[in-house]
Structure 1
């Protein structure tokens, strides 16, 4: 048994059981991958993959158990490599953050700027996607951390920590009838076509839940992943927008007005997630501490080890 065999098994699964693509990803030959997997199966005495002819179609029941062990072993190997790299260069290396558009566009710019001033030798990358996509990026080692509001708390294999709270706001044109009300209700909002986030983004689940509780069915005219898109269509007079409060800039959005609706939709918590058992370099701890002032390295370690599961803001 060797590490190459384990890598081949893991990559075969990642490439949807396509050995040709797995071989390309690992810069080797398809016959070599196939042979190594067969030799591992013979050594273990079980079939890892279910086959149809020469093609593999999926994992067998023992194969799923093998894959789980393979993932754990490879995570430990990756951790050893990172330890070596960190002690060789404490303040340099690569750092990949997977996040949603709202976080990347509105929440992170100043923080990233401050971080890069503190660690100018770190090569920082920002990957964007839906909460489900960014969680997968971390699980597949394509990113070091994920930052989002929705979904990442329920992903097996990820440990998440709260960063900061925020509220939704309604955005309208200056002459909109809602601006004349001293306070607005869900019933008031539901009278107008709504323009808001796609179901997977930026606290949309809380928006939907609030209307459902009041037995209201608002006319959602347009859904988007980008608050700038939402604001553009609101400016055109097509409806009432609901966006994250952080996404409104009075200087840039001079043709719009906001109405606070935190009392209607509740508080939202953005969270940072890392893979369980991951090795964090010093500057990654620093970034998380900058992202959430209530966090420190000791507390982060406790959360990752399962000692602070109930921790919250």
Structure 2
């Protein structure tokens, strides 16, 4: 039994039993993966993956246990290699990030520009996650880190690091009646108009629908999407009032649209970094977290991941649309306690 065989098995499982997709991930041929899988099953003496004709139909009961053990073995070997690379000060490697399109498009470019200057041999791979879309178990995926957002008092399960807070803003054409307001848009005014916003806001448990419901109001949706840039297209076409994250608003948008704040009863959102437990993070992964959240100590990040401590994290800094020349995000708004006051007691925030 070889490490290569176990990796091929896990690649097939992570590709939802699609050998062609797994082969592409492994940079190998489909016959090669099939051969490694056969060698593994021959040595075990039973099938790990059930077949239907020439296709894979599922995972056998015995295969479930083999996969669990294989993940642990592959993870342990990866941890040894990551630790050794950190000790050697090696900067080459592969960083797999999963996040919504809004973060990939509007947040990450200047941060990655700083990171890749520090680590010129770093290979970054970005995988798409729909806004508000549930995530798989991080330990079962190839991701080194997942970026996502929650609103109000919601804290993601697992090892979750609070990075920064951000607000939702209204975006309308300059001829729209709301464009003349010199104050935040009220919930009543939001409820009067058809909204163009993220798909996640349509869910019955979304913070938008919850806050409107508490005020005796109801959201009316004209259109929704997972991509903020697509929302802008629909607002431009006159479908309705846009409601997007402030980090998706660019200078050109402010010239074309009126961008307005919403009354404070609509809770701010918090950006989180989800990291896998029990995994040795490469130095460049910790550096990326600290570029996004300089207030988080590197030692606390490592201790939280290896399970030796549960740090009390400082409040997330407020996001601002710019980055300082010194290489840290410029987070202009002062840290807010609005969200922190409503966090559950088991929160890992300091406060």
TM-score in terms of structure 2 length: 0.73
1:99 aligns with 2:99: yes
Alpha-carbon displacement from aligned partner over 1:187-210 (angstroms, at most 9, x marks no partner): 211111111112289xx9322322
CA positional deviation for 1:239: 1.4
* Paired residue secondary structure (2:256): coil
Query: How do 1:240-279 residues align onto structure 2 when only pairs under 5 Å count?
Result: 240-261=241-262, 263-279=264-280
**How far off its partner does 1:154 sit?**
4.6
Deviation at 1:186, TM superposition (A): 1.6
The corresponding residue for 1:34 is: 38
Shift of 1:217: 2.8
Partner SS for 1:82: helix
Contact 1:192 1:219 (C-alpha < 8 Å) held by counterparts: yes
| 8 Å Cα contact 2:8/2:33 also seen in 1 | no
1:244 and 1:62 map into 2 onto residues whose CA distance is 46
Q: What is the CA-CA distance between 1:14 and the residue it aligns to?
A: 2.9
Q: CA deviation at 1:296?
A: 1.5
Give 1:37-56 correspondences, 5 Å limit: 37-41=41-45, 48-50=48-50
Tell me the alpha carbon deviations over residues 218-275 of structure 1, each in whole angstroms, 9 at most, x when there is no partner.
2211112222222233233331111111222344431211221151320110011222
1:308 paired with 2:345, answer no
Superposed displacement of residue 49, structure 1: 4.6
Give RMSD over aligned pairs: 3.5
How far the C-alpha of 1:170 sits from its partner, in A, is 1.1
Alpha-carbon distance in structure 2 between the residues aligned to 1:11 and 1:261: 45
TM-score by length of 1: 0.80
Partner in structure 2 of residue 74 of structure 1: 74
Task: State how far apart, in whole Å, the 1-side matches of 2:65 and 2:222 are.
Answer: 46
Match of 2:146 in 1: 146
Superposed CA offset, 1:121-143 (max 9, x none): 43334333326889559656544
Greater helix proportion: 1
Residues 23 and 167 of structure 1: CA distance in aligned 2, closer, same or farther (over 3 Å): closer
Structure 1, unaligned runs of 5 or more: none
* Structure 1 position 10 matched with structure 2 position 10: yes
For structure 2, which runs of at least 5 residues remain unmatched after alignment?
Answer: 312-346
